[in-house]
Chain A
Amino acid sequence: MTHRVHPLATLAKPVFAVMLCAAGLQAQPKVIRMIPGGDLKIIDPIQNPSYITRNHGYMIYDTLFAVDSKGHYKPQMIDTFVPSKDKKTYTFTLRPGLKWHDGNPVVAADCVASIKRWWAKDVTGRFLAAETVSLEAKDAKTFVLTLKEPFGLVIEALGKPSSNVPFMMPERVAKTDPNQQITDTTGSGPFILKKDEWVPGSKVVYVKNTSYVPRKEPADGLAGGKVVKVDRVEWVYIPDQNTALAAFRNGEMDVFELPQADFISTLEKDPNVRLAKDTLGCQGWLRPNFLHPPFNNPKARQALLYMVNQDEYLAAAGFPEKYRLKNTAAYFMAGSPNATDAGGEAVKGGQNLAKARQLLKEAGYKGEKVVVLVPSDPPVQAAAAMVTVQNLKKIGMNVEAQAMDWSTLLGRRAKKDAPDKGGWSIFHTYSVGFDVMSPVVNSYIGMAGDAGPAGWPTDAKMEELRMAWAKEGNPAKRKALTDQIQRRAYELVPYVNFGQFYQPMAYRANLKGLINIGIPVMWNVEK
């Protein structure tokens, strides 16, 4: 039996094939795969200030205000805000259409609870809380902040871009004790966490929040419309940097958030790869322990300023020349609105070992053991610690380098014992520009003793100056205060800036619209 095929059917066959193919293409979800800079272990960006948790926060939560690429603070969830004439009362109104991932509307009470949870944990938040009389919801869309006296940083605080970011959460979630981790991940941000697909230590999956109503303005920095142009974002944590590099260059991954510094040159040569270098960069911190000799003496700490050659530290960490700044005296990041060289002659002059030795002598250094904590894992901190050990020996100090993993180091640096009794003298860390760029957000410049981070510098005058800076609304007066704070910092040396560097984020050339703000936000990105 023969079967005659109609000519139309013959024609239809390839047409159907194309249609099926097109349908298949349409059904194919657009997925961005990113190698994050760390493993997302904690999902509460208020309880935990780590950058990976902050980045997770930006995926699923929204903020009241946000900073744009020029450093200006713009309303994000806020529609309007009206300060009173005496600047003691701020009335905020939420923009329409805001919804939680569970479909419920975002109301003012949610924001009030979220701000209160945030300011219990955050440095800037604590300044704001200290000046607040009341924070109350007036109606579903409006809340009012009443201050004891004018506070110059209200909008900057509520739009704080980095840890801890005041992310908005539903009231039921925001009422959780700030020291206890939340378990409910309902947000109102542009993505939704797929908790059932989360494999800690391996993969975090986000899907597009189809109910999200972006602002009308184009995306600019963290501000503007958060328009999501993909269906799904997957963070695939690859602990081994060599494997991560291979997977990225092989096209298995689209974004490599924090490639090791010595991979930068290789990545620059790859035509399929682009590097995003944010404007502020990061600042390295050498932190002395104020509680024990020799660094309980300001002259010994000043010796550290002369001992450091910033370029040497950043080269040791592997950063190519164009990714590092030389002899930066700005405590608040070169390139930021608060950058100043006031009091920074020691750093501007470059390394001066003879001066460092002389200062140590003036400090009455008697050869006490100096314990430097050397981490084995984070490469920047590890390289910096080794350079410090070498330089301390050069200026005649009795140094003991103690190697340990980062977790042990964090535990060890919380100990207040003397260096020869299980304590420490120096450790290294670094912070991104957003967390350094003002006297208030820069927590390591704070000198509140026990109430501050490890190292425990104490100086009432510095704390007064920081509070005065926070309250000051006049830009010129604030600038004068910045200079004063920095001079005080160079006098007392709460930490030594071991260099400002740029940690680029690498992405595949087929991605368009990636926002270059130093935080891997995935709205506006097309693939």
Chain B
Amino acid sequence: MKYFIKRLVALIPVLAVVAVIVFLLLHLGSSDPAVLIAGDNASTADIEQIRRTLGLDRPLVEQFFSWLWRILHGDMGVSVFTGLPVTTMIAQRLEPTFWLTLSTMLFAVVFAVPMGIVAAWRAGTWIDRCIMALAVLAFSLPVFLIGYFLIFGFSIKWDLLPVQGFRSISEGFGPFLRHLILPTLSGGLIYMALIARMTRATMLEVLGEDYIRTARAKGVTNTRLLVRHALKNAAVPIVTTIGLGVALLLGGVIVTESVFAIPGIGRLTVDSVLRRDYPVIQGIVLLTSAVYVLINLAIDLLYTLFDPRIRY
């Protein structure tokens, strides 16, 4: 518990550093949102007036502290463009990203871990080579390319699944699932490959240990040997990889979301960066930093479940 609280407190300086860096990076850049709002025909005076209205003409330090003050009061501000609260805009995008992350990781883990185990168990055979070749292929193909192939096959050619979009689970489980399958496959293959390779590598190491040989000598069945004895001991690096994958996905699967037009956090990040919507970018970065730190904390805590030698 003490360790947990200590880690939570450590979140504060991390977020503070992130906040300062992001704020400076954005505001010292070469573009400002007033130019975009003013449009193609705007004069210098028009742009200046909009900058004044948005408060962008104030000194940088003043802008930073007023933003910080609002953040400390739980107010992330409003989007410079849409006029909507940043919290509303992020909240709108959480559901698609959450489900996409969950389904992608579920898909990846369900296929990757058995693949890795089998590859390690049959190391050097054609099964191992096939699995690893598949993993290399999945790892090497760009996500957008996989996405286009899937769209061409499942949507255009066979008309089985929709090309794009996201349906909330509240609109019915059928449409929800149909819209999630292709993005999950497209985004999940790379994680599947990563986890499968990691599982294979760690399993190979564990399978060479003395206690495995002893278990074999005692007549333990293959399944029991692989799952109870080997996998549990190989779990720490696998869980780390899965955890980092979850953190990356929650941070936004930009390519998958763009190809399949899913309104998730990744798309919001790209859109906000492209139009220099400072309050939204700052809000997302703070949120994703917090998510990263919390997921790392969760991974660290999970280690104790798999390896009782680890104590905090």
Contact = CB atoms under 8 A, between A and B. Distances in A.
Nearest to B155: A250
Interface stretch (A317-325, A449-457, A481-489): A449-457
19 contacts: A50-B39, A199-B92, A201-B267, A201-B268, A202-B261, A202-B263, A236-B164, A240-B258, A243-B163, A243-B164, A410-B31, A411-B32, A411-B35, A411-B276, A414-B35, A443-B40, A444-B41, A452-B43, A453-B43
B39 A49 contact: yes
Interface of A: 39, 41-43, 47-50, 121, 123, 163, 177, 179-181, 183, 199-203, 236-240, 242-244, 246-247, 249-250, 252, 405-408, 410-412, 414, 416, 429, 431, 443-444, 448, 450-453
Contacts of A411: 29-32, 35, 276
A74 to B, nearest CB: 26
Interface string B259-278: 11101000110010011100
A429 B40 CA distance: 8
A451 B50 CA distance: 15
B31 A41 contact: no
Contacts, number: 136
A200 B84 contact: yes
A49 B46 CA distance: 12
Nearest to A39: B271
B82 A200 contact: yes
Contacts of A252: 162-165
B45 interface: yes
Contacts of B29: 408, 411
B30 A412 contact: yes
Contacts of B36: 407, 410
A412 B35 CA distance: 9
A249 B156 contact: yes
Given A199-B92, A243-B164, A247-B165, 6 more contacts: A49-B41, A183-B83, A405-B274, A412-B30, A431-B40, A453-B40
B159 A250 contact: yes
Nearest to B37: A48
B304 interface: no
A199 to B, nearest CB: 5
B47 A237 contact: no
B47 A414 contact: yes
A416 B44 CA distance: 10
B306 interface: no
B53 interface: yes
A49 B152 CA distance: 37
A41 B164 contact: no
B53 A236 contact: no
Contacts of B139: none
A238 B275 contact: no
A49 B261 contact: no
Given A203-B263, A240-B261, A247 B40 contact: no
Contacts of B165: 236, 247, 252
Contacts of B163: 243, 246-247, 250, 252
B29 to A, nearest CB: 8
Nearest to B151: A246
Interface in B41-68: 41-47, 49-50, 52-53
A246 to B, nearest CB: 5
Interface in B238-284: 258-261, 263, 267-268, 271, 274-276
A240 B259 contact: yes
B148 interface: yes
Nearest to A412: B30
B111 interface: no
Nearest to B31: A411
Contact of A237 (B32, B35, B49, B261): B261
Contacts of A444: 41
Contacts of A250: 155-156, 159, 162-163
Contacts of A47: 37, 50
B44 A450 contact: yes
Nearest to A416: B44
A239 B151 contact: no
Contacts of A405: 274
B89 interface: yes
Nearest to A201: B271
Given A42-B37, A49-B40, A410-B31, A243 B151 contact: yes
A246 B155 contact: yes
B104 interface: no
